[in-house]
């Protein structure tokens, strides 16, 4: 079992102020795999002080120096990519094929993209006699979840470093081992002491201490909407900037001219990817009312062909949920769907057949779902698909937007003009047309209760910058 009880503060691995052991479990076996320590406000104080000291010099580094630092991180990250993929699969259960293809590479992709952004970004621009200058906001608190650990860490750390900010990271205590490895990568890349600091811990203790700290200028949070409200509340008295990427209940509109079989197949696979533990998963599939039976049959075949099992088996499509709390929640939601009267097409409560340990769930499909049912309203965060009928295009858009969330959306049509028109009507931070893949150079974030602010690419860099106007910088000639 790994001993990961140290924190990374001021360029050194240090003991916690008040050691409090926490056992990390393998969600596939429910067996211990590591011990971390849960930090305290004293550890946060030490980390923020280190970041504040480092800010004075790091904020004055040149774009060239910061780009060189990012390139060193990229080089080290690449050398430890396989280790990172295996660590992620071990700690949160993603199939190793997904960890190698997406989970670990996502972290690298954000650093590569940020190097591109730095190459063309204008930190200063003269408008008349006024200099518009973008400066690092300061010390940043970064709070990240367990479902896409490296994606969420890198999409905050990379732009923070590129902006000239220093930071304190609190990863999820459920899946902290990839963050521990990430800190080792940054240390090997010779990051200046205090620029990056890692303190493990829980939300009510370490997360709250970071959010409320007066020397933290920005909190970037990814997690549930409930926890996001707590972070914003803790941050409010110090009037710091808070950016949030929160929950989702994304609609997948399959228009009546689409190739239904292919669209449903792709929609089910996208919903179940990462065992349904993605905030932007297309969990509400909207299908023309006349095609409901056909769509349900296709979804049933795809779901029942999904291989659930050992994350380290090459043919596994679905690993376990990441922890017992999530397992219990998904089981409750599936039972609620049955009680509410939705048609259970396949799956249902309990573990898959022949599985008696681990947080595995059955790939589940409900049909004839109403948008006011709990399974259609609440984020389930598991491999559970709701198929909802609609009457016409306007009805589909209405249903898609009838949610407190607005993170992502999906539209499938043979008519690109029609797909573009519908995409523009969806109230969400991003929309995929015909299963288009995510673009790390684009942006990611939500409308409504899915959060505020944007991550990824140039938009992500902007969040870590303050805009200053220097009047009379270039006085007009007399």
Residue 342 lies inside a defined structural domain of this protein:
yes
Mean pLDDT of 439-455: 96
Summarised one tens digit per residue, pLDDT across range 351-362 is 999 899 999 999
- 3-state SS of the chain is CEEECCEEECCEEECCCCCCEEEEEECCCCEEEEEEECCCHHHHHHHHHHHHHHHHHHCCCCHHHHHHHHHHHHHHHHHCHHHHHHHHHHHHCCCHHHHHHHHHHHHHHHHHHHHHHHHHCCCEEEECCEEEEEEECCEEEEECCCCCHHHHHHHHHHHHHHHCCEEEEECCCCCCHHHHHHHHHHHHCCCCCCCEEECCCCHHHHHHHHHHCCCCCEEEEECCHHHHHHHHHHHHHHCCEEEEECCCCCEEEECCCCCHHHHHHHHHHHHHHHHHCCCCCCCEEEEEHHHHHHHHHHHHHHHHCCCECCCCCCCCCECCCCCHHHHHHHHHHHHHHHHHCCEEEECCCCCCCCCCCCCCCCCEEEECCCCCCHHHHCCCCCCEEEEEEECCHHHHHHHHHCCCCCCEEEEECCCHHHHHHHHHHCCCCEEEECCCCCCCCCCECCCHHHEECCECHHHHHHCCEEEEEECCCCCCCC
Do 20 and 128 sit in the same domain of this protein? yes
Is the Cβ–Cβ distance between 253 and 400 less than 8 Å? yes
Confidence of residue 375 (pLDDT cuts 50, 70, 90): very high
Query: Closest by alpha carbon to 284, among 261, 254, 247?
Result: 254
Residue 226 lies inside a defined structural domain of this protein:
yes
Do 64 and 103 sit in the same domain of this protein? yes
Q: What is the pTM of this model?
A: 0.97
Residue 478 lies inside a defined structural domain of this protein:
no
User: Given a cut of 80, is residue 477 above it in pLDDT?
Assistant: no
Is the Cβ–Cβ distance between 297 and 387 less than 8 Å? no
Note if 245 is an active site residue.
yes
Do 35 and 142 sit in the same domain of this protein? yes
Do 285 and 400 sit in the same domain of this protein? yes
Query: Domain containing 341 — which CATH number?
Result: 3.40.309.10
Do 332 and 450 sit in the same domain of this protein? no
Confidence of residue 368 (pLDDT cuts 50, 70, 90): very high
Give me the percent of the chain exceeding a pLDDT of 70. 100
- 3-state SS of 215-261 is CCCEEEEECCHHHHHHHHHHHHHHCCEEEEECCCCCEEEECCCCCHH
Summarised one tens digit per residue, pLDDT across range 79-106 is 999 999 999 999 999 999 999 999 999 9
Confidence of residue 476 (pLDDT cuts 50, 70, 90): confident
Summarised one tens digit per residue, pLDDT across range 332-351 is 999 999 999 999 999 999 99
The CA distance from 413 to 423, in Å, is: 11
| Spatial CB neighbours of 50, under 8 Å, sequence gap ≥ 6 | 9, 10, 193, 194, 197
Confidence of residue 390 (pLDDT cuts 50, 70, 90): very high
Per-residue pLDDT at 281: 98
Do 52 and 174 sit in the same domain of this protein? yes
Do 415 and 461 sit in the same domain of this protein? no
Do 118 and 234 sit in the same domain of this protein? yes
**Catalytic entry in 279, 443, 458, 463:** 279
Do 392 and 261 sit in the same domain of this protein? yes
Residue 441 lies inside a defined structural domain of this protein:
no
Is the Cβ–Cβ distance between 251 and 241 less than 8 Å? no
User: Given a cut of 60, is residue 478 above it in pLDDT?
Assistant: no
Per-residue pLDDT at 253: 98
Is the Cβ–Cβ distance between 208 and 24 less than 8 Å? no
Residue owning tokens 């996502």: 106
Residue 477 lies inside a defined structural domain of this protein:
no
Residue 440 lies inside a defined structural domain of this protein:
no
Confidence of residue 465 (pLDDT cuts 50, 70, 90): very high
Mean pLDDT of 166-194: 98
Per-residue pLDDT at 354: 84
Per-residue pLDDT at 320: 98
Mean pLDDT of 18-37: 98
Residue 476 lies inside a defined structural domain of this protein:
no
Query: Closest by alpha carbon to 448, among 410, 388, 402?
Result: 402
Summarised one tens digit per residue, pLDDT across range 258-267 is 999 999 999 9
Q: Structural domain tally of the chain?
A: 2
Do 278 and 197 sit in the same domain of this protein? no
Per-residue pLDDT at 138: 98
216 is written with which tokens? 């933290």
Summarised one tens digit per residue, pLDDT across range 288-338 is 999 999 999 999 999 999 999 999 999 999 999 999 999 999 999 999 999
Is the Cβ–Cβ distance between 191 and 83 less than 8 Å? no
Residue 439 lies inside a defined structural domain of this protein:
no
Question: Looking at the DSSP assignment, which residues form a beta bridge with residue 220?
Answer: 142, 243
Note if 279 is an active site residue.
yes
The CA distance from 242 to 350, in Å, is: 39
Do 231 and 303 sit in the same domain of this protein? no
How high does pLDDT run on average in the chain? 97
**Catalytic entry in 86, 113, 173, 245:** 245
416 is written with which tokens? 């690109």
Confidence of residue 45 (pLDDT cuts 50, 70, 90): very high
Angle, nearest 10°, between helix axes 149-163 and 104-120? 20
Question: Looking at the DSSP assignment, which residues form a beta bridge with residue 14?
Answer: 7
The boundaries of the domain holding residue 122 are 2-246+446-470
Work out the number of other CB atoms within 10 angstroms of the CB of residue 146.
24
Query: Domain containing 152 — which CATH number?
Result: 3.40.605.10
328 is written with which tokens? 């219990």
Do 297 and 227 sit in the same domain of this protein? no
| Spatial CB neighbours of 429, under 8 Å, sequence gap ≥ 6 | 406, 407, 408, 443, 444, 445, 446, 447, 450, 451, 454
Give me the percent of the chain exceeding a pLDDT of 90. 99
């Amino acid at each position: 079992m790994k001993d990961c009880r140290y924190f990374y503060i001021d360029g050194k691995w240090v003991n916690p102020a008040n050691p409090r052991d926490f056992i990390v479990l393998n969600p596939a076996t429910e067996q211990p795999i590591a011990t971390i320590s849960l930090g305290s406000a004293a550890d946060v104080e030490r980390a923020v002080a280190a970041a504040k000291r480092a800010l004075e010099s790091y904020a004055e580094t040149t774009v060239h120096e910061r780009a060189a630092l990012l390139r060193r991180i990229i080089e080290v990250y690449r050398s430890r990519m396989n280790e990172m993929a295996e660590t992620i699969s071990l700690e949160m259960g993603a199939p190793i094929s997904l960890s190698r293809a997406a989970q670990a590479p996502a972290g690298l992709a954000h650093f590569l993209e940020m190097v591109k952004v730095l190459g063309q970004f204008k930190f200063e621009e003269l408008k008349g006699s006024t200099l518009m200058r973008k400066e690092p906001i300061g010390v940043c608190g970064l709070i990240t979840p367990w479902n896409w650990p490296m994606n969420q860490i890198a999409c905050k750390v990379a732009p923070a470093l590129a902006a000239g900010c220093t930071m304190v990271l609190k990863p999820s205590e459920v899946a902290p081992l990839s963050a521990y490895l990430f800190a080792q990568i940054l240390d090997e890349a010779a990051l200046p002491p205090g620029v990056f600091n890692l303190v493990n811990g829980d939300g009510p203790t370490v997360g709250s201490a970071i959010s409320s700290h007066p020397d933290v200028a920005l909190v970037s949070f990814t997690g549930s909407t409930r926890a996001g409200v707590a972070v914003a509340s803790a941050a409010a008295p110090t009037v710091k900037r808070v950016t949030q990427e929160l929950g989702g209940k994304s609609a997948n509109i399959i228009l009546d001219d689409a190739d239904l079989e292919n669209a449903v197949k792709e929609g089910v696979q996208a919903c179940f990817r990462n065992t349904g533990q993605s905030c932007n998963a297309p969990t509400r599939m909207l299908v023309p009312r006349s095609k409901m039976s056909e769509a349900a049959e296709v979804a049933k075949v795809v779901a029942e062909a999904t291989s659930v099992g050992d994350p380290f088996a090459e043919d596994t499509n679905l690993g376990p949920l990441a922890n017992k709390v999530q397992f219990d929640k998904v089981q409750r939601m599936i039972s609620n769907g049955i009680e509410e009267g939705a048609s259970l097409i396949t799956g249902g409560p309990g573990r898959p057949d022949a599985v008696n340990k681990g947080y595995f769930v059955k790939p589940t499909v409900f049909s004839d779902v109403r948008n006011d049912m709990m399974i259609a309203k609440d984020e389930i965060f598991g491999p559970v698909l709701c198929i909802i009928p609609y009457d016409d295009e306007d009805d589909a858009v209405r249903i898609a937007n009838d949610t407190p969330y607005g993170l992502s959306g999906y539209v499938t049509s043979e008519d690109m003009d029609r797909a573009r028109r519908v995409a523009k009507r969806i109230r969400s931070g991003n929309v995929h047309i015909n299963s288009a893949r995510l673009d790390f150079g684009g942006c990611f974030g939500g409308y409504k209760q899915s959060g505020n602010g944007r991550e990824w690419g140039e938009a992500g860099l902007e969040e870590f910058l303050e805009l200053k106007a220097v009047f009379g910088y270039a006085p007009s000639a007399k």
